[in-house]
Structure 1
């Protein structure tokens, strides 16, 4: 895979001084190869859960998803960036085709490529290049040592050996991460500062549901931004074991999460939901009492969500199928039991 590297964007490194919080860019590319090897592409680039750029199969050109997506680069600069993207996709396709033919991979398959870079050069963990096939980790680049590392995919070692011999591609990818992608991260840490730094406080609702001899305590937290949050349920001064949905997006760009615990008796004990979020100066505590009982309509919604979540949990433990750790490859609703608080990022 020979990638043409333009030098236009490197100038940003000389003109910009990082004055904002360090950020990471995540670029997820999906390639679907049909049985006759026709390529279908879709990809997106995100900064802190905000989609900023997208590329689709029809044009394979960048689409700006935010008003500040273009940063402070000129039309000419972005024209070159589109040329770079087209070149990268072209050679990546050729490379995958050669490997699939060499390994005699038959039929249709999906390849995912995830690129991560940081606005800080002092963040080695913020630079990554990973490739997966059909949801299984194939190879990833050890950026620090400049070597490819095999994953769990059945043909991982063969792919690793093939990529390791291609020194031109290795150098090109490293330059892309540390130059082009890094420069974009710097740009967005400044031009997108207002959007990236916005904070919206969560709304917390807590209720109980009695069924036979057991009592379900449910805490729903919604309308918050950014995504990372820590939610826990307490009885008196003891933190309860909880089950939790993953953090799900609302239609307005905020997020929601529901946690649940089961107990035999409440008696006169104090029960409350404790929420920690970057929008709050101190943890938000909402007690289970008349002042914080939720409406019937919302209670029904939470009850339905709990049933669906428990069903997903049972399905998960039955299948125990492995999925790639790449962000954005597959989004699945699951419940997990943890000791202590539930932290979602």
Structure 2
């Protein structure tokens, strides 16, 4: 599981996320921490440490950047991304601090298995002699990293069911005809699934369709916290191949296959039922008129 938070300068807002779920955010205008999707009253800002220190840290970095760079834009944005991980059996994973100024990453500090890795303006030979960087590493190792892990454990205890849940996708093939060419577009849609990782594949005669023939494939969020994905393929009118949509997801014991023939058959069944219903109604009306005429 991942826990990460972002800070955006000007308003100094803080967004707190557990994996891909927003569990809360800090509103600097009201100086309050607001929970999202909370079922208890246990979530609060103390888990993130001293918020005054966070604001001062952001302000100091912004001022330092403005001094070093000739920045003329009216709006200046400084961002920090902090991330820590817990692996299996509560083993501590990596810790990352990434800084961005005006939309571009300026430097990144990683800590894992007792070792720091730094990518930024300082050269490798300067890193060990730079007192500011050494102090920053010490601060993250002693305070930031343990605090982030404790916060992650706390949220996993209270919100773990949300990120560990499994929701099966609803998969269907949608056929849309082109009136001008006689061909059609077939779309494979999987929606309502969680977690976000899914393998959605279109097959032609049991062989995967080449990626350059397929459009779509972007992972999109739903309003209820689940996800959806759609992949589409244009097919000519004279095409006689068999097309299948296959979905593989953690919530499924086996892969889910939907055949295009099932879609066509379903449409034909609906049309046939419609014709039968119209025939029955017509016969009923004819008999009723005949009966009325005889009387």
Common fold by TM > 0.5: yes
Q: Over residues 236-293 of structure 1, what are the superposed CA-to-partner deviations in whole Å (9 max), with x where a residue is unaligned?
A: 1110123324211112222111111234467443211111111111111111135478
Q: Which residue of 2 aligns with 1:243?
A: 215
Equivalent residue in structure 1 for 2:244, among 272, 285, 290 = 272
Q: Which residue of 2 aligns with 1:201?
A: 168
- Identify if the C-alpha distance between structure 1 residues 69 and 245 changes in structure 2 by more than 3 Å, giving closer, same or farther: farther
- Identify if the C-alpha distance between structure 1 residues 265 and 239 changes in structure 2 by more than 3 Å, giving closer, same or farther: farther
Equivalent residue in structure 2 for 1:229, among 185, 198, 205 = 198
CA contact (8 A) 2:48 2:148 kept: no
CA contact (8 A) 2:4 2:17 kept: yes
Secondary structure of 2:50's partner?
helix
Q: Within 2, Cα distance between the matches of 1:283 and 1:268?
A: 25
CA contact (8 A) 1:148 1:164 kept: no
Structure 2 spans left out of the alignment, 5+ residues: 268-295
Instruction: Point out the more displaced range, 232-241 or 256-265.
Output: 256-265
Equivalent residue in structure 1 for 2:233, among 249, 261, 271 = 261
Equivalent residue in structure 1 for 2:260, among 268, 288, 308 = 288
Output the TM-score relative to the length of structure 1.
0.64
- Identify if the C-alpha distance between structure 1 residues 184 and 292 changes in structure 2 by more than 3 Å, giving closer, same or farther: farther
Q: Which residue of 1 aligns with 2:3?
A: 25
CA RMSD of aligned residues (A): 3.0
CA contact (8 A) 2:49 2:147 kept: no
- Identify if the C-alpha distance between structure 1 residues 82 and 60 changes in structure 2 by more than 3 Å, giving closer, same or farther: farther
- Identify if the C-alpha distance between structure 1 residues 200 and 169 changes in structure 2 by more than 3 Å, giving closer, same or farther: same
Q: Paired residues, what number?
A: 253
Equivalent residue in structure 1 for 2:71, among 105, 122, 128 = 105
Q: Which residue of 1 aligns with 2:119?
A: 149
CA radius of gyration, larger in: 2
Q: Which residue of 2 aligns with 1:59?
A: 30
CA contact (8 A) 1:207 1:294 kept: no
Are 1:89 and 2:89 matched, yes or no? Answer: no
Q: Over residues 132-153 of structure 1, what are the superposed CA-to-partner deviations in whole Å (9 max), with x where a residue is unaligned?
A: 2232221100324435312xxx
